[in-house]
Structure 1
Amino acid sequence: MNSSPTGVGLKTLILTEKPSVARDFARALGIRGKHEGYLEDSRFIVTWAVGHLMELASPEDYDSRWKPWRLDTLPIIPDVFRYKPLPKTRKQLKIIQRLLGSSAVGRVIIATDAGREGEVIARTILMAVGFSAWERILRFWTSQALTPEIVRAGLTKLRPAEDFNRLWKAGQTRQIADWVVGMSCSRAATLISRSNMSIPRSAKGKPEDDVFSVGRVQTAVLALIVDRKRNRENFVAEPFWTLRACFANAKGEWWGVWCKDGLRRMTAERDAERLAEKITERTGRVASVTVRNKRQPPPLLYALTDLQQEANRRFGLSAKGTLQVAQNLYERKKCLSYPRTDAKVMGSGNVDLARILVKTLSQVYPDRFDGLDETRLQVSNRRVFNDEKLTDHHALIPLAPLPEGATDDEKKVYELVLKRFAAAFHPDYQFEQTDVVTVVADEVFETRGRRTLQLGWKRLYAEDDAGPYSSKVGEDEAISENLPALEPGDPAKVKSAVVQRRMTEPPPEYSEALLLKDMSRPERYVTDGVLKKIFRREVGLGTQSTRAQIIETLLLRAYVVRRKKYLLATEKGCYLIDTLRRFQTARILASPEETARWEERLDRIARGDGSDETFLNEIKKMVTQMIDEFKAGSKSLGPCPACGGEVILGKRDYGCANWRKADGGCRFVVASEIAGLRISPAILSALLSNRHVGPLSGFVSDLGEPFSGTLRLTRDNGVWCVHLEPGETPTLKASTDMIGKCPQCGGDIVDNSKSYGCCNWREADGGCRFVIWKEMAQKPITPQLAGELLLKGRTGLLDHFVSRKGKFFSAALKLVQEGSCWDVRFDFGEIAPDGTPSKVIGKCPACGGNVVEGPRAYGCDQWREADGGCNFVVWRTIAQKEILPAVAAQLLEKGETDLLSGFISRKGSSFSARLRLSTDGPPPPRVVFDFSDASGT
């Protein structure tokens, strides 16, 4: 590849992500020369990718033994990952290769999308064609609409491409990690399912059609749909009753809803009837009237997922259909901006563009822009112009009037975008809200009135619905548009009292709109506080560009079917999620939490605070563990005690492989979960071999109390079955609220709203104050965990606590006595995740305690963040270099290490240094770099 430096008269090659962007650059630079695959004039050559031109090589490209699908060749983890051209775009890749190799080219400007995927697209192309003259490569970076002004301004602010090395590493790491998970786990899931005794067949009924594809995102989305199906199937509707009363005085009438302690529902009809009789014909009073002026700002502009949700809700369009329509309006009719965007704002540099668009569009659609607030067309309007919330592309907006000949679907989608854009520059919707509390016979009734003061942007939505903020008023609420002018102290005579019977409703089936909403904001399905925060910062399941395709993939794989406007999980989809959740490691793929963990790690890599090598090694280890679990589950776990056949993993439980025989087959079966304990293949194998296994911990009683027990294979009346013999079990009273005995006074520990507390807290002498909080360091403490703590005095090692600095840590919980009082404390370092004692590597230089190995760091075992203990720590990864235990031990013993190489700076350069303990600054000692004898750094 030619790598001569830039010289006078040499051209600048600009590489864009797609042809439309190349045309934007050509328009801004006045380039008119058109050739196959590129545009050119005397100064510039502008060429383009068509999205990704390269993909990771297939398994068989590395090793022929990976071509057939076999469990014994898994996992598929090449030593070095390679790329290969996509067949459909190979021709364009050759054009780019020829242009980059031209002696007429000096500088190269990467102008792919400003984001992780855009960086991957460009870097894989340059890598594929062998272009590595980094001193000649610059990066164009903007998230704003590529108007001629923005393009020309961006070309004056080019940055060295090497500044984005970490972003490239993050993108490539994500790509490789998804490949490793998908290739290995899809094959494993498919192979064990084909050998399963009750595999659900696809529509064609051929085994080769029954591919059980597994992926980090698509499987988590499938799990949402499967869980919704199960929740609806298991839902038991229960009746409840509400009481509504009509009040009247000389000023008029109004309705109120009975309320007590924030609740409007009663679970017993007799209670509601009794209250109705109590207030009938009585006269009460108006206790309070609160009047407030409120306003709703215009809705934010559309990101793609928001548009897909609205089009599905309003018109029944699928996510894929909406994207196709928006893409046509963008590429062919050129009246919408780039649709695959996750931003809901424009950039500060787009103010003039917005003004021009408003002026142009208002001439064609005057009714949409009538009543416009001109002050909103200013950079100070941060709901529209906000660089901080801008991503690779600005929000979806109209760029021109809709041309003639548009289809009905195009008209519908364009109208949604036009209306949302126009609404953004209208005044707020203003209304007066009146809250009335009426009291009669000591019973409280609430009423809310609303009176519109100014329609503002809602004028645009008056003809169809209430717009983006529309919501269904609950059946147990009282909302009125015309309340009389009430004042506190006014009489309130009860004209009528109406008891209404309602039924609780199951969660709704997933429409595409609801599913897209949960994919974009899945934090409510996550229990970990830190992971919730990750999802709240515009990270979701999939991206704006991929969510529609994920839904289509689930449909294609027969995991999901469309029934009218709903997406329903099939037997095959339920089977896959059930299978994954049977395994300790593989079950994480059926949860949104894994995506949040990946995003957190990838962000750290992009910032230079994390190691891509460490992350990939963890993914490889995780996948290897998953494959080991799959292999164990696919093998014969032992001989059937009933007939001598092979016991294998079934669809939901373990069973004999001879169940299909003509004589009725063998019916021996073992449940996959017994008394709350998940029965792993290893446990079952031991049970079959020895006729018993245990004692095992982790069983949970009907009262929610953990206990240990032994499983035994016994024969009752000629039928083989599994019996559980409980071991150590606490003495409990028959109360579903009690979870154990108080260590401080011997009273009952009961389940309260925010804690597990002692029932003796009200005693005259001040009561017992022992408590176990239901959340500690952002980790939920379940009744089972609390029960284990009370029974044994400590728990096992628990993961996913979150420190005050937002970092994960692991610890046990233990009961500690101080004088006559007991408390719950963290226990760091006494046990490792596998139950063995943690390895001590040295003495803490801050307090003299033991420094022990942890999952992410070497830390002092005297650290108690809750009570200000020692927080000395040596991180396992420093500047992307793994710190081995021997190195950490040397640092603790001598105060410094030998000269170490392999550190990586934030700019991606390698360097060497010693690590040294520094006492400069506040305690505890800090680990710092020492470059005093680091030559060649």
Structure 2
Amino acid sequence: MTTLILTEKPSVAVDFSKALGVRTKREGYFEGNDTLICWAVGHLVELFAPEDYSPSFKKWSLDTLPILPEPFKYKPIKKSGKQLSVIKKLLKTPGLSRVIIATDAGREGEVIARTILLQAGFTDKGRIMRFWTSQALTPAVVRSTLNRLKPITDYDRLWRAGYYRQVADWMVGMNGTRALTVRLGDLYSVGRVQTAVLALLVQRRRERENFKPEPYLLIKVHFKNEKGTWIGTWFKGKETRLFDLEAAERLVERLTADTLPGEVLSAEKEKKSEPPPFLFSLTDLQQEANKRFGFPAKKTLNVAQGLYQDKKCLSYPRTDSRVLGTQNLDMVKKLVEKLAPTAPALFEGVDHGRISLSNKRVFNDAKLTDHHALIPLKNLPPSASADEAKIFELVLRRFAAAFHPNCHYENTKIVTGFSKETFQTTGKIILSPGWRKAWPVKAKKEEEAHIPPLAKGDPAHKQKVAAEKKETTPPPAYTDALILKEMTNPGRYVSEKAMKDLFRGEIGIGTQSTRAQILEILIMREYAKREGKTLTATDKGCYLVEMLQKTAVSRVLTSPEETARWEMSLNRIALGDNDGSNENFLAAIKGFVEKSMEELKTLAMEGQAPASRKKTGEVVGRCPACGGEVIEAYKNYTCSCGFTIWKKMAGKNLTPNMVGHLLRTKKSGPYNGFLSKKKKRFSAAILLVQKEGTWQTTFDFDTKPKKTDKKSEGPVPWASERPSCESNQAQQPAPKTSKPDAAQKPLPPCPACGGTIIEGKRGFGCANWPADKGGCRFVIWKTLFGRELTRTQLISLLSLKPTRPCRLTRPDGQPVKTRIRLTNTPKGWVAMADPDELGQHHFQVVACSHG
């Protein structure tokens, strides 16, 4: 009898093979001890594209909308078809007694596994079990969880919710994107969640643009008596600001002229306590990392995923829980005992009485979802990167703080009467920091103010009157942290009290694991841009949202409230609530799409739609057909007459430099990296030829890439040039370079055009630099940021990977330890140094180009 275990990725399959002693590696799976362990590579199947249902849908046309297939079908993803075939074959193994789904324990992992089984035609649920854990997959965890398998039917609810989410997103996205793209003449995508999030960004941009600051005065009086000094701020009712500036000036004059003493009208002290913060959910961690380190949400997720999957020192990160289950009590006791010796400062204040089931802020089954909160599982290994150390420390500190005593403090409020006006003074004294020892909180002004021990009736002698001129400020620009907070708690956009209460709970816009990706999608589609820590809607994003908001039906897409309602329905399905949500949800989405398409087909479009940056790219050359300008578009290089060169040719991306040279000389290359229909790589030059009156691109196989002939072509352009003046790096003389070792690892190809990288006196540049080979200008300078690059670092950079942390030299001669990475920007390739451990930037970028 054979057992088949299906994991989500190869690395997880390795964890299972080690735990179970299944050592024999086959093509796409492990085998041994009557056990087969195979893996997916993320999603192996996807929903049909419209043209898969009918060739008539291939052309984007309003006449074919809406497209609402019945039923929806799945197809294999081409690039991973080989692994899917392996799994299909294994599912037909004679004597197969059971299949264990061990994909990630969540809605997405469930969808990955179920769609694979559906595509393979394996429907015998009696033989399918579910492996489910939030803990890192150590051998002990794997073996113990395999003894507690659950029937697959316990998770049918998650599969339904995941399937309905996919189908709903397909119906809304496919139809809406096609309709708007055809109407507006440029790619305008919409989505069930992404458009609602974009609406938040657009609203904030408009609020800030339309904001008009109002001047006001804060009036403060410095008082003194035998007990000490204090400062009182003028107030009346709940208002402390004076917007009538003339009246405020008169009040200042009167207060200044009054010499009679005032009196303390009230002196109140109140002792309070504050419980520790909750443990981290993923969104909470993303917000905190963005506030402290400026990490984008996606980066935090990736780092946390690596700490869970590779380092195995964090629990499952894609969680929306902020609590643990009661069954986790013994695990927590062991963790505290294991972690305390290496972080004594964090754990010395732990109240062991709080590591008990009576502590409902930590152990609460009623608030537990599919996974418990993010917690540390072991100490951070020495091989961890600086970013991993930052994320791990946040989780470790929050975990330790959860078991500390409450923070006890005393609030003081003084009201002073003077010249028939009232002035308030507030203060806060920390009596016992409690959990703040493990989770320090930045002190507020009232915590820093010293207030004497005043009592009602004490005299108050005026020392001076101060008027502070201020202006009202606009709402803050969105950062990842702020927009994630809005996505998690959209209650302020909801009018009904019942819905407000609901949204204060677990329902939000998107899910814990998709929110970061939604932000990146908005940036990729040029609806938003990230500048430093801030996220701002672009003109294109504003046009889309404001156009949709003028409609009667499609405006729903821009409503965070309505999107949150849809999320609520999906959440009910995921929780297994049998209230009709299953059938009603898709029917409601289908009805919305039908009405929306009717509306968008005839909607009057106002103003000129902003084109995407890629569509308004720079001119790359002159058209051979009409002499007009050829510009870079979204997927091609095109002229207004219709002449087109596609950006991808035989699997290789054509750069503007390559196309520019092709337009000038009718020949460019030869180049490596083309891919034949039989998936074999080849080299060739590109020709621009006229056939039957039409200009076409074709290959020239007579020419092969040649080694650079320095005698005929002259010295390479990067032989003596220094890096671009964009850099403020410390310059050093070019080092002498030893002859390359024949056994050395070859350098990766040029990231700009795929050409061969060759060495010059001061840098490593692309061999396609001559004009007849495309004129590629890419180069990496041998000395960057005051450091001579090693070959290992050069290989990392050319592979588009950051270097290991290394010692760089600032322009003032001070050393800085950080990483170097290559980045492709709108201005071209640049080398940049990461911020240091404190998040500070010390270097400007260095242009990776010559000439």
Fold match by TM threshold 0.5: yes
- Preserved contact between residue 232 and residue 506 of structure 1 (Cα < 8 Å): yes
Q: Mean Cα displacement is larger for which, 76-85 or 134-143?
A: 134-143
C-alpha change, 1:232 and 1:563, in structure 2 (3 Å) is same
Structure 2 length as normaliser, TM-score?
0.66
Instruction: Report the AA paired with residue 595 of structure 2.
Output: Q
Q: Return the letter of the residue paired with 2:313.
A: C
The offset of 1:72, in angstroms, is 1.4
- Alpha-carbon distance in 2 for matches of 1:44, 1:14: 8
Q: Is the aligned partner of 1:361 residue 2:331? A: no
Moved more, 146-155 or 300-309: 146-155
Partner Cα distance (1:36, 1:533) in 2: 53
* SS of equivalent residue, structure 1 residue 494: strand
Which residue matches 1:339? 317
Match of 2:603 in 1: 633
2:265 matches 1:308: no
What displacement does 1:147 show? 6.9
Match of 1:489 in 2: 457
1:253 alignment partner in structure 2: 229
1:84 corresponds to which letter in structure 2?
K
Does residue 1:609 correspond to 2:579, yes or no? yes
Aligned to 1:507: 475
Q: Does 1:90 align with 2:81?
A: yes
> 1:365/1:142 Cα in 2 relative to 1: closer, same or farther (>3 Å)?
closer
Q: How far, CA to CA, are the matches of 2:369 and 2:21 in structure 1?
A: 27
Deviations, residues 365-424 of structure 1 (Å, cap 9, x unaligned): 333333332223333333233333233333223333333344332332232222222222
CA gap 1:433/1:34 in 2 versus in 1, 3 angstroms:
farther
CA contact (8 A) 1:346 1:390 kept: yes
- Cα 1:152/1:532, change in 2 over 3 Å: farther
* Aligned twin of 2:669: none
Paired residues for 1:387-402 under 5 Å: 387-402=365-380
Structure 1 residue 45 displacement after superposition = 4.1
> How much has 1:228 moved relative to structure 2?
0.8
User: Contact 2:223 / 2:229 at 8 angstroms: preserved in 1?
Assistant: yes
Partner-residue secondary structure (3-state), 1:497: strand
CA shift at 1:516, angstroms?
1.9
The correspondence of residues 532-611 of structure 1 with structure 2, limited to 5 A, is 532-605=500-573, 606-611=576-581
Deviates more, 1:136-145 or 1:489-498: 136-145
Q: Counterparts of 1:151 and 1:403 in 2: how far apart (Å)? A: 21
Q: Tell me, what secondary structure is at the counterpart of 2:455?
A: coil
Question: Match for residue 326 of structure 1?
Answer: 304
Is the Cα–Cα contact under 8 Å of residues 144 and 346 in structure 1 kept in the other structure?
no
Alpha-carbon deviations, 1:798-828, whole Å to 9, x = none?
Answer: xxxxxxxxxxxxxxxxxxxxxxxxxxxxxxx
Alignment equivalent of 1:408, drawn from 386, 396, 403 = 386
Residue among 333, 354, 367 paired with 1:376 = 354
Judge conservation of contact 1:245–1:494 (CA < 8 Å) in 2: yes
Asked if 2 retains the 8 angstrom alpha-carbon contact of 1:232 and 1:507, the reply is yes
Q: Kindly indicate whether the alpha-carbon contact (under 8 Å) linking 1:216 and 1:594 is maintained by their aligned counterparts in 2.
A: no
8 Å contact 1:362–1:369 — kept in the other structure? Answer: yes
Distance in 2, matches of 1:167 and 1:405, equals: 36
Question: Deviation at 1:140?
Answer: 4.7
Q: Distance in 2 between matches of 1:159 and 1:372?
A: 36
- Deviation at residue 325 of structure 1 after TM alignment: 2.4
Equivalent in the alignment of 1:443: 421
Residues 391 and 36 of structure 1, relative CA distance in 2, 3 Å threshold: farther
User: What is aligned with 2:407?
Assistant: 429
Superposition RMSD in Å: 2.9
Instruction: Name the SS for the 2:175 alignment partner.
Output: helix
Amino acid at match of 1:383: R
Find the residue that maps to 1:289 and give its secondary structure. strand
Aligned residue type for 1:515: I
Q: In structure 1, which of residues 458, 461, 468 is the aligned counterpart of residue 436 of structure 2?
A: 458
Structure 1 residues 282 and 50 mapped into 2: Cα distance closer, same or farther (>3 Å)? farther
Three-state SS of the structure 1 residue aligned to 2:288 is helix
Distance 1:154 1:212, change over 3 A: same
Separation in structure 1 between the aligned mates of residue 295 and residue 308 of structure 2, nearest angstrom: 18
**1:519 maps to 2:487:** yes
Q: SS of the counterpart of 2:206?
A: helix
SS at match of 1:216: coil
Counterpart for residue 672 of structure 2? none
1:267 matched to which residue of 2?
Answer: 243
Kindly provide the amino acid, as one letter, of the partner of residue 271 in structure 1.
A
Cα displacement string for residues 516-538 of structure 1 (whole angstroms, at most 9, x for unaligned residues): 22222222233343443342222
Worse-superposed segment, 259-268 or 336-345: 336-345
2:430·2:447 contact (CA, 8 Å) conserved in 1?
no
Distance in 1 separating the partners of 2:149 and 2:382: 41
User: Separation in 2 of the partners of 1:503 and 1:121?
Assistant: 54
Secondary structure (helix, strand or coil) at the match of 2:193 reads: helix
Distance 1:316-1:116 versus aligned 2 partners, 3 A rule: closer
| Counterparts in 2 of 1:148 and 1:609: CA distance versus 1, 3 Å | farther
1: CA distance between counterparts of 2:535 and 2:321?
27
What SS class does the counterpart of residue 615 from structure 1 fall into?
Answer: helix
Give the equivalent residue in structure 2 for 1:193: 184
Return the letter of the residue paired with 1:560. Answer: A
Aligned residue in 2 for 1:72: 63
For 1:64 and 1:301, the matched residues in 2 are separated by 52
Distance 2:158 2:300 in 1: 31
* CA distance in structure 2 between the partners assigned to 1:238 and 1:315 by the alignment: 33
Q: What's the CA shift for 1:181? A: 0.2
Change (3 A) 1:188 1:218: same
1:882-920 superposed Cα distances (whole Å, 9 cap, x missing partner): xxxxxxxxxxxxxxxxxxxxxxxxxxxxxxxxxxxxxxx
String of CA shifts for 1:712-748, please: whole Å, max 9, x gaps. xxxxxxxxxxxxxxxxxxxxxxxxxxxxxxxxxxxxx
Partner of 1:867: none
| Deviations 1:528-567, CA, capped at 9 Å, x for gaps | 4344334222222222222222111111111112223222
Q: The residue matched to 1:507 in structure 2 has which SS?
A: coil
Q: Which residue of 1 aligns with 2:174?
A: 183
Distance 2:141 2:364 in 1: 16
Q: Which moved more, 1:547-556 or 1:112-121?
A: 112-121
- Give the equivalent residue in structure 2 for 1:808: none
**Deviation sequence 1:556-582 (CA, Å, 0-9, x none):** 111112223222211111111122112
Corresponding position: 1:173 with 2:188: no
Cα distance in 2 for residues equivalent to 1:295 and 1:415: 25
CA 1:421–1:212: 2 relative to 1, 3 Å: same
Structure 1 segment 197-276 matched on structure 2, within 5 A: 210-276=186-252
Contact 1:243 1:498 in 2 (8 A): yes
* Displacement of 1:46: 4.3
Change (3 A) 1:404 1:615: closer
**C-alpha distance in 1 between matches for 2:92 and 2:385:** 45
Alpha-carbon deviation of 1:156? 5.8
- The 3 A distance-change label for structure 1 pair 31 and 352 is farther
Shift of 1:186: 0.7
* Distance in 2, Cα, partners of 1:130 & 1:390: 34
Change (3 A) 1:167 1:512: closer
| In 2, Cα distance between equivalents of 1:626 and 1:459 | 55
Relative to structure 1, is the Cα distance of residues 144 and 414 closer, same or farther in structure 2, using a 3 angstrom cutoff? closer
Of stretches 157-166 and 450-459 in structure 1, the one that deviates more from structure 2 is 157-166
CA distances 1:297-348 after superposition (whole Å, capped 9, x unpaired): 2222222222222222222222222222223333333333332222222332
Pairing 1:650–2:607 present: yes
SS at match of 1:182: helix
* Aligned mates of 1:603, 1:337 — CA distance in 2: 23
Per-residue CA shift, 1:601-658, capped at 9, x if unaligned?
A: 3344441111533332221221121111111126xxxxxxxxxxxxx643489xxxxx
1:248 Cα offset (Å): 1.9
Partner of 2:639: none
Q: What letter corresponds to residue 73 of structure 1 in structure 2?
A: T
The offset of 1:292, in angstroms, is 1.9
